[in-house]
Amino acid sequence: MAETKTMKTAAYICSGCGIGDKLDTKQLAKVAQREGKMALVREHAFLCSEEGVQQIRQDIAGEDVTHVMIGACSRRTKTEAFHFPEAAVARANLREGVLWIVAEGDAHDEVRQEMADDYVRMGCAELKKLKLPVGNPARAESRRILVVGGGVSGLTAALEAAEAGYDVVLVERGAHLGGWAARLWRRTPSREPYAEPQETGLAELIARVNAHAQISVRLGSTVTETSGAPGRFQVRIARESGPAVEETVGAIVQASGFATYDLARLPEFGGGSHPHVVDQAGLEALALAAQGGPIKRADGQPVRSVVFIQCAGQRDTSGKHLPYCSGHCCSTSIKQAMYFKNADADVDALILYTDLRVPGMGEDFYRSAQHKGVTFTKGQASAVEASGSGARVRFRDFILDQDAAVDADLVVLATGQVANAGVDLDTWTQTVTEAESGSEPAKARRDELQKISVLNLNYRQGPDLPQLKHGFADSHFICFPYETRRTGIYAAGPTRRPMDIAQSVEDATGAALKAIQAVENAARGAAAHPRSGDLSYPIVRLEGCTQCKRCTVECPFGAIDEDERRFPVFNESRCRRCGTCMGACPVRVISFENYSVDSVGAQIKAVDMPDEFSEKPRILLLACENDAYPALDMAGLQRRSHSAFVRVIPVRCLGSVNTIWITDALNGGWDGVMMLGCKKGDDYQCHFVKGSEMAYYRMSKVGDTLTQLGLETERVVSHEVAITDVERLPRLIDDYVAQIVAIGMSPMKSFA
C-alpha cells in the first residue's frame, strides 16, 4: 500500500483572459494565503500556458504539493491542461463565474472583487476537504461484451466491438441470425439518390459476423440469469441444443428488437378478420415469395390494386392504440408501393396518409414514387369493409373535405413497432408483492413474466431494464443515448426507440462504443458515465448508519444492496457517482473522496457574510454540473450579466443535495438558496434519472424548517434548467435576487 503523504496545499491565481484587468489578483493571493491558509501561493499571467502548467507540476514534484487550488477559469475548461493525477484539485471560477457575468463599469468593481474573493475562499475551503481518489479497489478485468439479439442492431454492435479488438458473445433466441431484416425483400435506401429500394445487405453482414474470430455466436439461446456489475457480469445462457453455459462479460448490449403491433387490435380496418388485409410485415412476406415478380395475395390471386393506410393504430390520442409515430412506416410504405410498380407499372398503388415523413431522405424517395405513378392521398381512414373479392377503404379526404371510398385487392396497414424490452418493472413489482402474499394467480403471472424477460437480471429492482411510458427501454435519446439505469448495460436499436435499418446501424455502433467505454473504465476502477473516468466511489461509515434504507431505495441504478444486518452494501462498479445516496442519508455517513457533505459545507461556511445593514444579500446557488452549471458558463461566455450577490457551487446532481447544506446556509446568514436542476418527470433530462425528482421531493419538506427558524418559505426555491437556458437563467437569478431584496435581509445574519 502506498504511503499516505502529508497534505500540502498550494493556490495558483491566474491574471490572464482579462482577469488581472478587472480584479486585484494580489488581493486574491492574500485571501488564499491568510484566510485560505494555503501553504504555497503563486500568481501567473497565463496559468494554462506551458510555463504555468509546468510550474504547478514542479511544485507537485519538488515542493511535495498534494492539493492544488486553481483560481482561473471554470472547472469545465482547460481540463487537460489542469489535469494533475498526483494531486487533489479544486477550481475557483474567476473568469466565467465573475469577470464575464458582472456588468461592466467602475460602479461594479467592489461587488466584483468581493465575488472573486469569496470564490477563492470557497476553493481553498473545498480543497482541504478533498482526498485524491485512488479508484475502486474491487476492479474487474473482463473486457468481453455480451450482445443479446441477432438482428441488424445486434449484428452491428457485435461486429463493431470485435473490429475494435474486443471479444464478443452474441446470443440469439432464434435458430437464425437476421431478426426482422431477414423478413424483408428490400430495404429503404440509405444513400443518394434515394430513388429505389435496395438490397438489405444482411447476408454479407451475417457472413462477416460468423467469420470473425472474436465473435462467438450462440443460436437458439436465451439469457436466464444476469448478475454482477461492469467488468464482471456473470451471465447464464440456456441453449436448446445442449446444457446451459456461464459467461463472464464486462458489458452488455441489449438489442432485442421489436414486434409489430397486433393486427387483431384493428378490427375496424379488417385486421385479423379480413383475409386480404395485411400489415407491412405481411406484405414483405408476399414480396419475398414473389422474388421481384408480380405480388400475389395469400389466395394466389394477382394484386391489381393496393391501398396503404398509414398510422394504423399509431399516433392515437384516444389511449386505445400506440400514441407514438414509429418513424419508418411512411418510407416503408413508399418502398412497398414501389415493389408493385417495379413489377407491373399498371398496378394501382395508393398511399393514404395524414402526415408523410421520410427522415433522412428529404423528399427524394417520395418524388421517386410519384414518378413511378404511386398515388398519395391526404386523408384519414375510417373503415375497411369486404367488397367483392377484395376490400373497400372508407376515408375522409382532407383535400376535398369530403367522405370517399376506394376499392382494392389488398390493403396494407402501417401498424408500427412495439419494443421487445422485457418485463415492465412496475407490473413486476406489483405482481411479486401479490405473489409473496400468497396469491396463486399472482404466482402464475410472475412465472409468465419471467418467461418474457430478456436479461433476467438478479437485481433487487427487477429482472429487466426500466422502461419509458411506451414500453421502450429507458435511455434518453438526446442527453445520454444508449445509457440505461443499469450501469454497463446498453440498449440499441428499436428496443429503445422506433427506427429503420440505417438508424439501427448507427445506434448499435454508438451502443458498442459505450460498452467499450464501460469495460475500460471498470478495469481502471473508474465510473462509466456520465462522470466517465471518475475514480471516486461512495464510502460509508457503518458505525454511524441507522439502517434507514433511504440510500438503497433512492439509488436510481441498483448500485446499493443490503447485508444480513440491513447495512448498505455498495456495488462500486454499478455506481454512477451521482451522490443521490449522499443527499438521501439523514446522518451524513456517505461520502466520496472528492465530493462530500463536508466539501460543499465548507464552501458554504467560507463566504464572507456582510451584515444585515449592508444591503448586500448573499444567495447560494446549488447548480447541477450537467445542465445548470454549463448554462451559467455559456451565459458568461455570451457576456449575459446577472447579479453579483450570488455564489455558485456546482453539485454532481441535485439529488446529491443534503438538507444540512440548506440548514447550514440559512443558519449562517445566507439570505436565500436557489437550486437549479434538470427537468424531471416522464420526459426527464436528469443525467441521473431520478436525482432531480428526489431533490424536489426532499426540498418540499424544507418549509417546516424555515418556519421553525422564523424565515419566509420563499427563501428556498428550486427551478428546472436546461443546458440551453442561456438567456433565461440570468433573468431567473436576477428576479430571485430582487425577490430576496424585497423580503429583506435574513435575520440570521445577527447570529452568524
Indicate whether 592 belongs to any domain. Answer: no
Q: The C-alpha cell of 687 is what?
A: 443525467
Q: How confident is the model at residue 514 (pLDDT cuts 50, 70, 90)?
A: very high
Q: Are 556 and 675 in the same domain?
A: no
Amino acid at 202: L
Q: Residue 391 pairs with which residues in a beta bridge?
A: 386, 408
| Domain assignment present for 275 | yes
pLDDT in tens, 178-202: 999 999 999 999 999 999 999 999 9
* DSSP β-ladder status, 40-44 and 221-227: unpaired
Question: pLDDT, tens digit, for every residue of 57-97?
Answer: 999 999 999 999 999 999 999 999 999 999 999 999 999 99
Whole-number Å distance between alpha carbons of 717 and 720: 10
Which CATH number characterizes residue 560's domain?
3.30.70.20
Are the C-beta atoms of residues 146 and 233 closer than 8 Å to each other?
Answer: yes
Report whether pLDDT(3) > 60: no
Enter the C-alpha cell of residue 320: 386505445
Q: Mind giving me the DSSP string for 493-562? A: GGGTS---HHHHHHHHHHHHHHHHHHHHHHHHT---SSSTT-----EE-GGG-----HHHHH-TTS-EEE
Same domain membership, residue 486 and residue 566: no
**Same domain? 232 vs 364:** no
Residue 415 burial (C-beta neighbours within 10 Å; 0-12, 13-18, 19+)? buried
pLDDT recorded at residue 139: 79
Q: Give the residue from 199, 88, 146, 31 showing the smallest Cα distance to 593.
A: 88
Cα distances (angstroms) measured from residue 17 to each of 23, 382, 633? 11, 66, 15
State which H helix or E strand residue 552 sits in. Answer: helix 550-554
Q: Peptide bond preceding 498: is omega within 30 degrees of 0, i.e. cis? A: no
Q: Residue 163 falls within a domain, yes or no?
A: yes
Q: Is the pLDDT of residue 572 over 50?
A: yes
- Domain end call among 132, 163, 185: 132
Mapping DSSP to helix (H, G, I), strand (E, B) and coil, where does residue 126 land? Answer: helix
| pLDDT single digits (tens) 124-179 | 999 999 999 988 877 788 999 999 999 999 999 999 999 999 999 999 999 999 99
Clarify whether residues 58 and 162 are in a common domain: no
Judged on CB neighbours under 10 Å (0-12, 13-18, 19+), 548 is middle
pLDDT of residue 738: 96
Grid-cell match 439509488, residue found: 555
Q: How confident is the model at residue 4 (pLDDT cuts 50, 70, 90)?
A: low
Are the C-beta atoms of 169 and 213 separated by less than 8 Å?
A: no
3-state DSSP assignment of residue 376: strand
Q: What are phi and psi of 119, to 5 degrees?
A: -65, -35
**Same domain, yes or no, for 731 and 617?**
yes
What are the residues facing 170 on neighbouring strands?
A: 147, 217
Residue 6's SS3 state is coil
Neighbours of 110 (CB within 10 A): 11
Judged against a pLDDT cut of 60, whether residue 22 lies above it is answered with: yes
Both 82 and 123 in one domain: the answer is: yes
Residue 68 CA to residue 126 CA, distance in Å, equals 11
Q: Helices 501-524 & 152-163, crossing angle to 10 degrees?
A: 40
Average pLDDT along the chain:
94
What letter would DSSP give residue 473?
B
Mean per-residue pLDDT for 472-485? 83
Work out the average pLDDT over 418-433. Answer: 94
- Summarised one tens digit per residue, pLDDT across range 339-365 is 999 999 999 999 999 999 998 888 899
Asked whether residue 394 falls in the same domain as residue 409, the answer is yes
Count CB-CB contacts under 10 A for residue 178.
20
Residue 191 and residue 276 in one domain: no
C-beta of residue 301 within 8 angstroms of C-beta of residue 410: no
Asked if residue 145 lies in contact with residue 515, where contact means CB atoms within 8 angstroms, the answer is yes
**Contact indicator for 585, 553 with CB cutoff of 8 Å:** no
Contacts with 205 (C-beta within 8 Å, 6 or more apart), sequence order: 152, 155, 156, 159
CATH number at residue 377: 3.50.50.60
Residue that has been written with the C-alpha cell 437480471 in this structure: 457
* Most confident by average pLDDT, 172-181, 478-487, 611-620: 172-181
| Domain assignment present for 218 | yes
672 plus 709 within the same structural domain: yes
| pLDDT at 346 (0 to 100) | 97
Of the three residues 67, 102, 132, the one that is the final residue of a domain is 132
State how far the alpha carbon of 521 is from the alpha carbons of 134, 334, 457, 619, in Å. 13, 45, 22, 38
Whether 335 is in a domain gets the answer: yes
Is 441 part of a structural domain of the chain?
Answer: no
Domain ends where: 351, 384, 418? 418
Same domain for 1 and 102?
A: yes
Dihedral through CA 540, CA 606, CA 625, CA 722, nearest 10?
Answer: 130
Contact 655, 579 (CB under 8 A): yes
Residue 711: its pLDDT value, please?
A: 86
DSSP secondary structure string, 292-326?
A: TS--B-TTSPBPSEEEEETTTT-S-SSSSS--S--
Residue 458 resides in a domain:
no
Kindly tell me if the per-residue pLDDT of 534 is higher than 50: yes
CA distance 707 to 727: 33
Domain extent for 275: 260-418
- The residue to which cell 463566504 is assigned: 607
CA distance 349 to 410: 10
- Same domain membership, residue 266 and residue 374: yes
Query: Residue 603 class from Cβ within 10 Å (0-12 exposed, 13-18 middle, 19+ buried)?
Result: buried
Question: CA gyration radius for the chain?
Answer: 31
Q: What is the pLDDT, as a whole number, of residue 25? A: 97
**Residue 528 corresponds to which amino acid?**
A
β-sheet bridge partners, residue 381:
395
CATH code at 46?
Answer: 3.40.50
CB atoms within 10 A of CB 8: 17
* Intra-chain end-to-end CA distance of the chain, in Å: 43
Instruction: Please give the tally of structural domains in the chain.
Output: 5
One-letter amino acid at 680 equals: K
Q: Does 311 have pLDDT greater than 80?
A: yes
C-alpha cell at 433: 408483492
Q: Are 84 and 70 in contact (CB under 8 A)?
A: no
Q: Are residues 480 and 498 in the same domain?
A: yes
Q: Indicate whether 439 belongs to any domain.
A: no
Q: What would the 3-class secondary structure string for 218-274 be? A: ECCEEEEEEECCCCCEEEEEEECCEEEEEEEECEEEECCCEEECCHHHCHHHCCCCC
DSSP symbol at 303: P
Q: Identify the weakest region by mean pLDDT among 203-207, 319-323, 489-493, 558-562.
A: 558-562
Using the 8-state DSSP alphabet, how is residue 409 labeled? S
Summarised one tens digit per residue, pLDDT across range 575-601 is: 999 999 999 999 999 999 999 999 999
Percent of all residues in the chain with a pLDDT value above 70, rounded to a whole number: 99
Q: What average pLDDT does the segment 605-611 reach?
A: 94
